[in-house]
Amino acid sequence: MSVLSRLLFLAYFVEVGLVLLVVPWSPFWDRNYFFDLWPALETATRSNLVRGAVSGLGLINLWAAMAELATLFGLRTK
């Protein structure tokens, strides 16, 4: 992969990780269009367990971004 594609990959992981980490705990999470369509979805997603799981996925994405950054710097020094 080229350096530019690796940087885009890194930016994608950081962006998705931050969104998944922050959004479940924001008011934006509670104002969802799909709650009107499926009321059972609302009760499931308001659970702190689900919010924590989504935030955990965000942390995994941020960890992957840091691993990609370490790989990028490792390739650049050679």
In tens, the pLDDT along 6-41 reads: 889 899 999 999 999 999 999 988 888 888 888 888
Comparing 42 with 14, the larger pLDDT belongs to 14
User: Within 10 A of 72 (CB to CB), how many other CB atoms are there?
Assistant: 15
Provide DSSP, 41-72: HHHHHTSHHHHHHHHHHHHHHHHHHHHHHHHH
Return the top range by mean pLDDT from 30-34, 41-45, 54-58: 54-58
User: What pLDDT score does 1 carry?
Assistant: 67
Question: What pLDDT score does 78 carry?
Answer: 47
pTM (predicted TM-score): 0.81
Percent pLDDT > 90 in the chain is 49
Residue from 2, 8, 1 nearest 65 by CA: 8
Q: Provide the terminal-to-terminal Cα distance of the chain, rounded to the nearest Å.
A: 15
